[in-house]
Amino acid sequence: MKEKTKRWLRAAAVRALKTLAQTAAAAIGVAGASGGADWAAVFYTSLTAAVLSVLTSLAGLPEVKEGDENE
């Protein structure tokens, strides 16, 4: 596997995990304020956000620049 592909996968995974954690924290906070967390909704909302993060990363990641000399 090319080094650039490895860097892209790593960067996309980090972004997706950060997005998942941020979405889960927000969903738990909102659910808690309204009386109780629906854990299935928190899980699926967070998972959907992570998948969307990966799809957004397909458009390009600034961490993995085109023409980088370390290919």
| pLDDT score at 53 | 96
Q: Where are the chain's structural domains?
A: 3-57
22-69 pLDDT, tens digit each: 999 999 998 878 777 788 989 999 999 999 999 999 988 888 876 555
Task: Give the per-residue pLDDT at 13.
Answer: 96
Residue 39 Cα distances to 26, 50, 53, angstroms: 13, 16, 21
| Better pLDDT: 17 or 69 | 17
pLDDT for position 11: 94
pLDDT attached to residue 71: 47
Q: What's the confidence (pLDDT) of residue 32? A: 79
68/5 Cα distance (integer angstroms): 12
